[in-house]
Amino acid sequence: MSFSERLLNLCTAAKAYNNSIATDILTEGEILPPSQDPWYVASGDLRFKQPGDVLRIRHVPALVSIVEKSSAAYHILYRSTDSCGQPSCAVTTLFVPASLYYSQTGKAAVVSYQFAYNTANVDCSPSLALAGAMAKSEPNLGIKASTSLITEMLSFGWIVNTPDHLGPTAAFGASMQGGHATLDSLRAVHKLLRLQDGPDFNTAIWGYSGGSIGTCAAAELQSSYASDVEISATVLGGLVDDISADFDKLIKSPIAGTLIAFLVGITSQYPEARDYLQRRLVKDSKIEFMSVLNVQVTEAVRRFSGRHLLIL
């Protein structure tokens, strides 16, 4: 059996390697939002797990029918670390190409793409949204279907990793969270690939706009947090710089809703900051402000476009 064929049976390999790893298959009729799906919640004490340990893996055939050029797709729940250094978990989606690329030295290629899903709503995480909202174009906002980007990567024969790098609380803007989740997703993926007794591989990380936050953090944290993860290349675009420096411009801009999601997202990692934020909100608009917890980024942008956030 070839390496490509063995990648179609990662669930079996994971179970054989460690019987405590839960395996499953997710049928289309069983798909639930992360906030309602118990599969996304780690069981047991995460303190006894190491960052990057695979906790669960499930085959997701529905994504194969949505994302062209893929021969298999998996959800992987793995141990990670939040912004405060506490044990946490995250989910990544792994796509196996129909035909694998090999370099001149015989290495396969792994690309970790951190999507700019820019939301404080955990139900918009790529692991779910790639089968829904992210599979659709938004012509009015100039947003192309995210699944088409994965298809392009797969067409080159690359193994594609797409982590929910904002974590289980959709901590948009929390760079430490994003960096840890990205690196730990690669730890988990590398472990699973090495179970297949295949070729070595080169790994690249890639992020644009909101996806550059976790990608840049991963590149910066790699040597101190995950020196065992070898990264051959880092690709960054649409870099997000110091938000506070542009606050006055953003509070009444067409993308003001993204700033709200940023504030709500990052404070999910810091309860005291979240409490302070909510105490400072105007009573009459508090519900509207916090509604970003329940909408996707495109709706948040439409809802708050051009509105002055200080006088909501």
How does pLDDT run across 11-59, given as a tens digit for each residue?
A: 988 888 888 898 989 887 788 999 999 999 998 899 999 999 999 999 9
Distance CA 212, CA 3 (A): 31
Q: Where are the domains of the chain?
A: 3-237, 243-311
Percentage of residues of the chain with pLDDT beyond 90: 61
Q: Hey, what amino acid is at 195?
A: L
Give per-residue pLDDT as tens, 159-168: 999 999 999 9
Give per-residue pLDDT as tens, 237-270: 998 877 766 667 777 777 778 888 999 999 999 9
pLDDT for res 143:
66
Tell me yes or no: is domain 3-237 CATH 1.10.240.10: no
In the three-class reduction of DSSP (H, G, I as helix; E, B as strand; rest coil), residue 56 is classed as: strand
pLDDT for res 22:
86
Distance CA 206, CA 208 (A): 7
Mean residue pLDDT across the chain: 90
280: number of CA atoms within 13 Å, CB side?
11
**CA of 224: how far to CAs of 111, 165, 221, in Å?**
21, 19, 6
Taking only Cα atoms into account, the Rg of the chain, rounded to an integer number of angstroms, comes to: 19
Whether the CB-CB separation of 219 and 231 falls below 8 Å is answered with yes
Q: What's this model's pTM, rounded to 2 decimal places?
A: 0.93
Largest CA distance in the chain: 64
Answer with the residue of higher pLDDT: 231 or 66. 231
Q: Picking from 96-100, 120-124, 166-170, 280-284, which range would have the lowest pLDDT averaged per residue?
A: 280-284
